[in-house]
Amino acid sequence: MAKAYYMDKATSCLPVFHTSELTKTYQQGEVEVHALRGVSLDLFSGELVVMLGASGSGKSTLLNILGGLDVPTSGEVKYQDIDLTRAKDRELTRYRRNYVGFVFQFYNLIPSLTARENVIAVTEIARDPMSPEAALELVGLGKRMDHFPAQLSGGEQQRVAIARAIAKRPKVLLCDEPTGALDSATGALVLAALDTANRETGTTTVIITHNASIAQMADRVITLSDGTISGEYRNATRQDPRTLSW
């Protein structure tokens, strides 16, 4: 079982996330699914990590646990001093509210709110948010702030989702297949927005994907298969996402 320890002097030497021997088993209908079979890893402040894995490798389950959407069956998961292992719904809500930004494959924008209002929906419950306009400028949507989701393209919607995720200045940004529903060119734009957000805000960013090309934009790449970490490496340089294609 691989254990991923990586110290990046350029970022920080303290892990923001620490997991050890995480397992997750759940019932799917009458079948018991072992989604995670003992995952131990650390994530460090400011780094951009891409987690690669085929579908069913457990990457989404891991992301959900890191994001406080789910709790592990066994093992330990800590965000700084916060123990997420056995946290109750109320504590998980507070954790998500204060520390985590999410970007989803299907954007999950609120259709009845405009781009700006979707961002405000998060900033108005955050402790120290940036202005919604600034967040939207950052993802290049300064001109389309008052459009409803139904009036935006898929790529634009995803960038609104990124703006919404970073506007509260989260400590960690978790992205689940952010380009999964987009074509290559649009996907590159979305990844560029994530890259910019990571560089400019220093937010620890985790992108999970099955698309190996995306790995080149990461500081570090972790590969998951069958519920365990099957490999990890560090890129010497992060490649500009705009140059990626698949």
Contacts to another protein by CB under 8 A: 60, 64, 67, 69-70, 89-90, 93-94, 96-98, 100, 102, 104-106, 108-114, 117-118, 120-122, 124-126, 148-151, 164, 176, 181
Least distance in Å: CB of 166 to another protein? 12
Of 102, 116, 217, nearest to 166 by C-alpha is 102
Least distance in Å: CB of 95 to another protein? 8
* Order of strands, sheet of 220-225, starting from the edge strand that comes earlier in the sequence: 100-103, 172-176, 204-209, 48-52, 220-225, 228-234
Q: Given the complex with another protein, which of 108 and 243 has the nearer CB atom? A: 108
Q: Given the complex with another protein, which of 70 and 195 has the nearer CB atom? A: 70
Of 139, 121, 131, nearest to 200 by C-alpha is 139
Burial of 111 (0-12, 13-18, 19+ CB in 10 A): exposed
Q: Given the complex with another protein, which of 23 and 192 has the nearer CB atom? A: 23
Q: Given the complex with another protein, which of 132 and 220 has the nearer CB atom? A: 132
Least distance in Å: CB of 136 to another protein? 15
* Order of strands, sheet of 15-28, starting from the edge strand that comes earlier in the sequence: 31-44, 15-28, 74-79, 82-83
Residue tagged 């898929």 (tokens) = 154
Spell out the residues 6+ positions from residue 85 whose beta carbon is closer than 8 angstroms to its own: 71, 72, 75, 76, 77, 78
Least distance in Å: CB of 118 to another protein? 8
Least distance in Å: CB of 51 to another protein? 16
Q: How far is CA 64 from CA 117, 165, 197, in A?
A: 25, 15, 21
Q: Given the complex with another protein, which of 122 and 218 has the nearer CB atom? A: 122
